[in-house]
C-alpha cells in the first residue's frame, strides 16, 4: 500500500487538477441515496448492494439518482501505517469490491469521513491522515466524499476543508467533495473553489415545521421548514459547480404526511438542493416512489441554468416561490405552510417581477401553467385570476412558459 501511495504522490506532479473542470463536473446538484437518515451506523455490504439493485429496478438511476453514499459507520481500524480499513464484519468483501458492484450498476459510490479526530459516531476521523485517506478512497474507486465536522476543537475550518480538497484533487480521480460543516463558518463565503456542495444547516429530522415537545430535552435535528428558512437567503452563493445543501431528504422516512413529503421534495427542487434520498428503498410505498421519480419536478432541481429559487412573498399563510429556468420558463410554487386547508385566488399578472440575482423577469402574459404534480389537469392560461385549493402543508407546483 505504501509504495502505491508514493507512486500516486509522484503522479500528482503530472496530473492536471480537476479544479478547472468543476463547473462541468457538478453542473447540477447531486442526486442519489445516503444511508444515514434511515439506517444510521447499521450498514453493511448486503444493504448497500440491495439498495443498488432497487435503485436500478425502480428506475431511480434512470431518473438521475446516481450516487450511492455510505455515511458514518463503515470504518474499521487504521493499520500500522495509518491506512484506514473497512469494518471487516460489515464489509467482508472490502470497499473496492463494493465500488465495483455499484459501478457495474451504472452508479457511483460515495463515502464519509470527518475533518476531526473522530467521526460524529466515534469512528476514525481523517485528521492527520488527509492525503492517505484521499488516496485510499481513490484506490477503492470512490466517487464522492461527505466530510463532517465533529471532534474539531481548535481546527480551522477553511484550512481543514482546503486540505482535504487538495488531497482529493491530488488523487487525479474526480471525487465530489460534499462539505458537512453545518454552515457554522459560513462556507458559502469561501468554499466555491474547495467543494462542490456545502451544508448550510444542521441535521434534518422528519418533521415539517416543529419538533414535537417530547424531544425537547434531548439532542434533535431541525424540521424541514426551519432548514428552508436557513437555506433560502443563501441563494446568491449557489450555482453550477457549488451548491447549497440544506441536508438530505426525509421523503418516505418517518412521520411526514404524503402532502408534507411532496412539499419537502418540491422545496428542495425549487432551491436547487441535492436530492439524496434517505429512506428504505426496499419497503417504500408506490406513492413515495411517484414523488421521488417525478421527472418534471426533478427537472426543476436539475435545470441547467442553475439558479436557486426564491421565496418572493408570504401572504395569508401561503408562500410564493419562483425559480427561473433555462430557455425562459419558470417554476412557480405555492406552499400552504399553515395548519388549515386553503382556497387561494391567484392573480397571475400581479405576480410579474424581476429577479435581481438572475436578471430574469417573470411575466405571465401569454403563458400557460402546467401543474407538475397532476399532469391530468390541462395546462391553463396564466391570465386573470385562478381559484385554487391547497391542503395544509401541501404545494401546487407549475411550470410556466409560452
Ligand atoms: C452529522 C451529519 C449527519 C450524519 C452524522 C453521522 O450529524 O450532519 O448528516 O452524517 O453526522 O454521524
121: CA distance to ligand 1 center in Å?
8
Question: Annotated active-site positions, please?
Answer: 148, 203
pLDDT value for 12 = 45
> Is the distance from CB of 219 to CB of 205 less than 8 angstroms?
no
pLDDT value for 17 = 45
Closest among 335, 383, 380, 324 to 357, alpha carbons compared: 324
Q: Which of 71, 221, 230, when mutated, tests ligand 1's pocket best, judged by the most ligand atoms within 8 Å of its CB? A: 71
pLDDT value for 1 = 55
pLDDT value for 23 = 54
Pairing of strands 31-34, 275-277: parallel
Task: Give the integer Cα–Cα distance in Å for 389 and 363.
Answer: 23
Task: Give 82's Cβ-side CA count (13 Å radius).
Answer: 13
> Is the distance from CB of 92 to CB of 76 less than 8 angstroms?
no
288: CA distance to ligand 1 center in Å?
24
Closest among 113, 181, 120, 119 to 142, alpha carbons compared: 113
72: CA distance to ligand 1 center in Å?
7
Biggest CA–CA distance in the chain, Å, is 73
Task: Give the integer Cα–Cα distance in Å for 104 and 67.
Answer: 13
Ligand 1 atom nearest 149 alpha carbon: 1
Residue 2 backbone class (left: φ over 0; alpha: ψ -120 to 50; beta: rest): alpha
> Nearest 10 degrees: CA dihedral of 236, 238, 242, 245?
130
Instruction: Find residue 113's DSSP bridge partners.
Output: 147
Q: Which of 148, 197, 220, when mutated, tests ligand 1's pocket best, judged by the most ligand atoms within 8 Å of its CB? A: 148
226: which residues sit within 8 A by CB, 6+ positions away? 201, 209
Contacts made by residues 216-225, CB under 8 angstroms, sequence distance 24+:
224/250, 224/256, 224/260, 224/263, 224/264, 224/267, 225/337
152: number of Cβ within 10 Å = 19
356: CA distance to ligand 1 center in Å?
35
Ligand 1 atom nearest 120 alpha carbon: 12
Atom 11 (ligand 1) nearest CA = 120
370: number of Cβ within 10 Å = 17
> Is the distance from CB of 116 to CB of 167 less than 8 angstroms?
no
> Is the distance from CB of 78 to CB of 85 less than 8 angstroms?
yes
Ligand 1 atom nearest 199 alpha carbon: 8
Ligand 1 atom nearest 71 alpha carbon: 10
Residue carrying the nine cell digits 438511476:
61
C-alpha dihedral sign at 206, 210, 215, 216: positive
Atom 5 (ligand 1) nearest CA = 120
What secondary structure letter does DSSP report for 178?
Answer: E
Atom 4 (ligand 1) nearest CA = 36
387: CA distance to ligand 1 center in Å?
43
What secondary structure letter does DSSP report for 328?
Answer: G
Atom 1 (ligand 1) nearest CA = 120
Residue-wise pLDDT tens for the chain (402 aa)?
A: 555 555 555 554 444 444 445 558 999 999 999 999 999 999 999 999 999 999 999 999 999 999 999 999 999 999 999 999 999 999 999 999 999 999 999 999 999 999 999 999 999 999 999 999 999 999 999 999 999 999 999 999 999 999 999 999 999 999 999 999 999 999 999 999 999 999 999 999 999 999 999 999 999 999 999 999 999 999 999 999 999 999 999 999 999 999 999 999 999 999 999 999 999 999 999 999 999 999 999 999 999 999 999 999 999 999 999 999 999 999 999 999 999 999 999 999 999 999 999 999 999 999 999 999 998 899 999 999 999 999 999 999 999 999
Retrieve residue 8's grid coordinates: 500516486
Task: Give the integer Cα–Cα distance in Å for 395 and 382.
Answer: 18
Q: For 332, phi and psi rounded to 5 degrees?
A: -130, 125
The SS3 assignment for 396 reads strand
Give residues (CB < 6 A) around ligand 1. Answer: 36, 71-72, 119-121, 148, 180, 203
173: CA distance to ligand 1 center in Å?
25
C-alpha dihedral sign at 306, 351, 397, 258: positive
Q: Which of 110, 120, 246, 249, when mutated, tests ligand 1's pocket best, judged by the most ligand atoms within 8 Å of its CB? A: 120
Q: What is the pLDDT of residues 351-392, one digit of tens each?
A: 999 999 999 999 999 999 999 999 889 999 999 999 999 999
Atom 3 (ligand 1) nearest CA = 203
Q: For 132, phi and psi rounded to 5 degrees?
A: -60, -45
35: which residues sit within 8 A by CB, 6+ positions away? 43, 47, 48, 51, 69, 70, 71, 73
Ligand 1 atom nearest 146 alpha carbon: 10
pLDDT value for 375 = 86
Task: Give the integer Cα–Cα distance in Å for 112 and 91.
Answer: 15
Retrieve residue 271's grid coordinates: 432551491
148: CA distance to ligand 1 center in Å?
7
Amino acid at each position: 500500500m505504501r509504495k502505491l501511495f508514493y507512486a500516486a504522490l509522484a503522479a500528482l506532479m503530472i496530473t492536471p487538477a480537476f479544479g478547472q473542470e468543476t463547473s462541468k463536473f457538478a453542473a447540477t446538484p447531486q442526486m442519489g441515496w445516503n444511508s444515514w437518515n434511515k439506517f444510521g451506523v447499521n450498514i453493511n455490504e448486503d444493504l448497500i448492494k440491495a439498495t443498488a439493485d432497487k435503485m436500478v429496478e425502480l428506475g431511480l438511476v434512470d431518473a438521475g439518482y446516481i450516487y450511492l453514499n455510505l455515511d458514518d459507520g463503515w470504518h474499521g481500524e487504521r493499520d500500522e501505517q495509518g491506512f484506514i480499513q473497512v469494518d471487516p464484519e460489515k464489509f467482508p468483501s472490502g470497499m473496492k469490491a463494493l465500488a465495483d458492484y455499484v459501478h457495474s450498476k451504472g452508479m457511483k459510490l460515495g463515502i464519509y469521513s470527518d475533518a476531526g479526530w473522530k467521526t460524529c459516531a466515534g469512528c476514525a476521523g481523517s485528521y492527520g491522515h488527509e492525503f492517505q485517506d484521499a488516496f485510499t478512497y481513490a484506490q477503492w474507486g470512490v466517487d464522492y466524499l461527505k466530510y463532517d465536522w465533529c471532534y474539531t476543537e481548535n481546527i480551522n475550518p477553511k484550512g481543514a476543508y482546503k486540505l482535504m480538497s487538495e488531497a482529493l484533487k491530488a488523487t487525479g480521480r474526480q471525487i465530489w467533495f460534499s462539505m458537512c460543516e453545518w454552515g457554522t463558518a459560513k462556507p458559502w463565503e469561501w468554499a466555491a473553489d474547495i467543494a462542490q456542495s456545502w451544508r448550510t444547516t444542521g441535521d434534518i429530522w422528519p418533521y415539517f415545521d416543529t419538533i414535537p415537545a417530547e424531544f425537547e430535552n434531548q439532542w434533535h435535528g431541525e424540521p424541514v421548514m426551519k432548514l428552508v428558512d436557513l437555506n433560502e437567503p443563501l441563494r446568491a452563493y449557489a450555482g453550477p459547480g457549488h451548491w447549497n445543501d440544506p441536508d438530505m431528504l426525509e421523503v418516505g422516512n418517518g412521520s411526514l404526511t404524503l402532502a408534507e413529503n411532496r412539499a419537502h421534495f418540491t422545496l428542495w427542487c425549487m432551491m436547487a438542493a441535492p436530492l439524496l434520498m434517505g429512506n428504505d428503498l426496499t419497503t417504500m410505498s408506490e406513492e413515495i416512489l411517484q414523488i421521488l421519480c417525478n421527472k418534471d419536478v426533478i427537472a426543476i432541481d436539475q435545470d441547467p441554468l442553475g439558479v436557486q429559487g426564491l421565496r418572493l412573498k408570504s401572504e395569508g399563510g401561503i408562500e410564493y416561490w419562483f425559480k427561473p429556468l433555462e430557455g425562459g420558463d419558470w417554476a412557480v410554487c405555492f406552499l400552504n405552510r399553515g395548519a388549515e386547508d386553503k382556497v387561494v385566488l391567484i392573480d397571475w399578472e400581479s405576480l410579474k417581477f424581476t429577479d435581481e440575482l438572475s436578471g430574469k423577469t417573470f411575466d405571465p402574459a401569454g403563458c400557460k401553467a402546467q401543474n407538475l404534480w397532476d399532469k391530468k389537469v390541462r395546462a391553463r392560461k396564466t391570465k386573470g385570476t385562478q381559484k385554487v385549493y391547497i391542503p395544509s402543508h401541501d404545494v401546487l407546483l407549475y411550470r410556466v412558459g409560452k
